[in-house]
């Protein structure tokens, strides 16, 4: 029994090597070989989510030393699936809708596409730096009241607004008071 196993191994290796060689010998460019088709997935590719089919909310706001963190939530309120991928554009705005301070800086990887079925949601972590951290942001001259967060879903030029947060924004555009991560499932 030991002998036959010893002879079978070289034969199996030779057969495997031949199979690999033959598989690699397909027709080159302009050749007449037969192409092998790979089955496409049964689900269709969803289009990028448009602002009009999304609702914005915020959850899990928590404060830490020097910052507040919250999750921005985009929910598909449309009738068909869509995809969110990447970072939102986020900034503070005043009551007139004017941006106050710098837009959010992106942090971390761009992330994978998130497919949202109707009613499905994706979240992105937003960090809001407390004003006392930067000298140029001392009240009252260095700050302005915030009426809302303006959020552009990835790949969109139309924004959503989220009332609040109850905070002051730094007027100095050199201070990055906001940072945001990419959307995840």
Rounded to two decimals, the pTM is 0.74
Strand pairing category for 54-64 and 67-76: antiparallel
> What CATH class is the domain 48-180?
mainly beta
Q: Over the stretch 67-124, which tens digit does the pLDDT of each residue have? A: 999 999 999 999 999 999 999 999 999 999 999 999 999 999 999 999 999 999 999 9
Q: Give the domain ranges of the chain.
A: 48-180
C-beta of residue 149 within 8 angstroms of C-beta of residue 81: no
Assign 43 a pLDDT band (cuts: 50, 70, 90): low
- 91 compared with 9, residue with greater pLDDT: 91
């Amino acid at each position: 029994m030991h002998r036959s196993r010893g002879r079978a191994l070289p034969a199996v290796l030779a057969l495997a090597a031949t199979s690999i060689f033959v598989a690699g010998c397909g027709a080159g460019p302009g050749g007449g070989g037969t192409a092998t088709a790979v089955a496409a997935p049964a689900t269709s590719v969803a289009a990028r989510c448009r602002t009009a089919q999304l609702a914005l909310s915020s959850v899990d706001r928590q404060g830490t030393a020097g910052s507040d963190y919250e999750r921005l939530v985009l929910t598909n309120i449309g009738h068909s699936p869509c995809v969110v991928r990447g970072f939102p554009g986020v900034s503070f705005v005043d009551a007139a809708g004017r941006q106050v301070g710098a837009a959010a800086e992106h942090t971390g990887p761009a992330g994978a596409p998130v497919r949202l079925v109707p009613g499905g949601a994706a979240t992105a972590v937003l960090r809001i730096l407390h004003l006392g951290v930067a000298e140029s942001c001392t009240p009252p001259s260095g700050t302005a009241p915030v009426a809302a967060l303006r959020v552009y879903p990835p790949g969109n030029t139309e924004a959503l607004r989220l009332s609040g947060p109850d905070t002051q924004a730094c007027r100095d555009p050199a201070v990055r008071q906001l940072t945001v991560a990419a959307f995840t499932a």
